[in-house]
């Protein structure tokens, strides 16, 4: 890559969020959040809209005062500082580019505020514009740029200051699908080149999994789980997290017998073995999470977990995406390479290690 002049990021060892929370009157938007971010890490805050992830980001940036808790950067308390004194870079969802300033002046704005010399400013702005491949558009106003270009200006503007931490608030949500993939790679590349510590807010699990070293899954202002991408993907701690990690089938069943690792769960038309993934007791209500890829059409003579009738079949090239309905009216999703037609009766099975059994409502 052409990062000859790539500025060295101001490094830090750890950013510690101690029980930060934020309430609007009686409504608590963010329940106490504890998180330690190591320098250079890429962390994604993941959750549906209204789960408190943007609130968390704004609180860290200093745009919202904390209701409780503290933020420490290498032991120095920073949550009492106004945003302009924190020195974190932020990329806004709507980019918030200054419409009356050219791309170059937008990017130079932060350096100008810090009274960096003209020559130094020019050098650093050139380097960053080169990095985001916008050198040819430097003289344009933001209004003359495409969405993806505006987005890159917003990133350039945030990183030219070499901030210890970059906060990104759903930066890709305003882009179309193809551009989103390109920009995702771009953000990953910039992160690697600069070694920027990044806190990234998104509602898109694929985006979070592909970009982040660690993920924080939020649910209604509570932390549902914190872990690396493989940790969350392989062993979600609750049905809520599982649903976010692509376990599209969340079945409400009952545990018939519970062993050390494997539980037998039953329900209307269902009987299957699953991996115990939480405090489950015999006879209690459970939620079973299964990925569409892990529901298989049973070979003759194999154990059948349940039967369902294919309702909608979508052709996805290498495989079929099937929505099927069980006799009791439960909808299940599966992906299969076998040709299936709507109306076909399917006998389905699942590997016990691939069906996660969670206590019902527990930690959801």
Partner 1 sequence: MTAVTLADAPKLALRHRLAERGIDRTLLLILPGVIAIAALFCYPFVYGLGLSFQPAKGGVFGAYSAFFSDSFSEGTIWKTFGLAIPASLINVGLSVPISYRMRKDFRGKRLLLTLLVVPITLGTVLTAEGILEYFGPVGWFNQTLQKLGLISAGHPVTLINDYWGVLFSLIISGFPFAFLLTHSYLSGIHPALEKAASTLGAGWWQRFRFITFPLLLPGLLTTFCLTFVLGFSVFPSAIMVGDPDGRTHVISIEAYEQALQNFNYPQGCADAMIMTALMLAVIGLVMGVRRFFYAGSTGGKG
- Which stretches of the chain bind partner 1, using CB under 8 A? 61-63, 82-84, 86-90, 92, 94-100, 109-110, 113-114, 141-143, 145, 150, 157-158, 161, 167
Q: Which two tokens stand for residue 245?
A: 């990690």
Query: What's the min distance (Å) between Cβ of 144 and partner 1?
Result: 9
In the complex with partner 1, the residue whose CB is nearer, 12 or 92, is 92
Query: What's the min distance (Å) between Cβ of 64 and partner 1?
Result: 10
In the complex with partner 1, the residue whose CB is nearer, 157 or 296, is 157
Q: Which two tokens stand for residue 202?
A: 């998104």
What is d(CA 239, CA 62) in angstroms, rounded to the nearest whole number?
A: 33
In the complex with partner 1, the residue whose CB is nearer, 134 or 265, is 134
Under 8 Å between Cβ of 190 and 211: no
Q: Which two tokens stand for residue 230?
A: 């493989």
In the complex with partner 1, the residue whose CB is nearer, 90 or 308, is 90
In the complex with partner 1, the residue whose CB is nearer, 34 or 84, is 84
Query: What's the min distance (Å) between Cβ of 358 and partner 1?
Result: 39
In the complex with partner 1, the residue whose CB is nearer, 163 or 359, is 163
Query: What's the min distance (Å) between Cβ of 128 and partner 1?
Result: 13
In the complex with partner 1, the residue whose CB is nearer, 90 or 313, is 90
Output 20-25 pairs: Cβ under 8 A, ≥24 positions apart: 20/56, 20/59, 20/60, 20/66, 20/68, 20/69, 20/70, 20/71, 20/79, 21/66, 21/67, 21/68, 21/69, 22/52, 22/55, 22/56, 22/59, 22/64, 22/66, 22/67, 23/67
Query: What's the min distance (Å) between Cβ of 176 and partner 1?
Result: 15
Alpha helices in the chain (DSSP H): 53-61, 83-86, 103-113, 118-131, 147-159, 177-194, 205-211, 229-234, 239-244
Query: What's the min distance (Å) between Cβ of 15 and partner 1?
Result: 16
The DSSP 8-state label assigned to residue 159 in this structure reads H
3-class DSSP state of 89: strand
Under 8 Å between Cβ of 249 and 292: yes
Query: What's the min distance (Å) between Cβ of 146 and partner 1?
Result: 11
What is d(CA 133, CA 149) in angstroms, rounded to the nearest whole number?
A: 9
């Amino acid at each position: 890559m052409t990062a000859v002049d790539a500025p060295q990021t101001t490094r830090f060892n750890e950013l510690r969020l101690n029980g930060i929370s934020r309430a609007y009157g009686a409504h608590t938007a963010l329940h106490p959040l504890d998180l330690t971010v190591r320098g250079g890490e890429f962390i994604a805050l993941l959750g549906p809209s209204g789960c408190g992830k943007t609130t968390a980001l704004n609180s860290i940036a200093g745009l919202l005062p904390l209701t409780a808790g503290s933020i420490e950067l290498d032991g120095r308390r920073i949550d009492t500082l106004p945003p302009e004194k924190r020195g974190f870079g932020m990329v806004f969802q709507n980019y918030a580019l200054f419409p009356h300033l050219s791309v170059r002046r937008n990017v130079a704005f932060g350096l100008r505020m810090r009274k960096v010399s003209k020559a130094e400013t020019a050098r650093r702005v050139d380097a960053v514009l080169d990095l985001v491949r916008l050198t040819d558009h430097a003289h344009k106003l933001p209004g003359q740029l495409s969405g993806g270009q505006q987005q890159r200006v917003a990133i350039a503007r945030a990183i030219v200051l070499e901030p210890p931490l970059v906060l990104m608030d759903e930066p890709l949500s305003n882009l179309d699908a193809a551009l989103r993939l390109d920009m995702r790679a771009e953000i990953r590349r910039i992160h690697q080149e600069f070694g920027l510590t990044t806190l990234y807010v998104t509602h898109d699990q694929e985006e979070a999994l592909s970009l982040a070293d660690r993920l924080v899954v939020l649910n209604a202002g509570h932390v549902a789980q914190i872990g690396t991408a493989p940790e969350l993907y392989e062993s979600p701690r609750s049905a809520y997290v599982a649903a976010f990690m692509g376990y599209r089938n969340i079945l409400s069943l009952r545990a018939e017998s519970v062993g050390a690792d494997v539980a037998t769960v039953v329900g209307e038309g269902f009987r299957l073995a699953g991996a115990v993934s939480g405090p489950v007791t015999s006879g209690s209500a459970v939620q079973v999470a299964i990925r569409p890829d892990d529901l298989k059409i049973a070979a003759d003579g194999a154990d059948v977990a349940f039967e369902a009738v294919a309702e909608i079949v979508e052709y996805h090239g290498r495989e079929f995406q099937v929505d099927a309905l069980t006799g009791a009216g439960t909808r299940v999703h599966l992906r299969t390479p076998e040709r299936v037609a709507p109306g076909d009766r399917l006998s389905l099975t699942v590997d016990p290690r691939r069906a996660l059994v969670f206590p019902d409502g527990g930690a959801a």
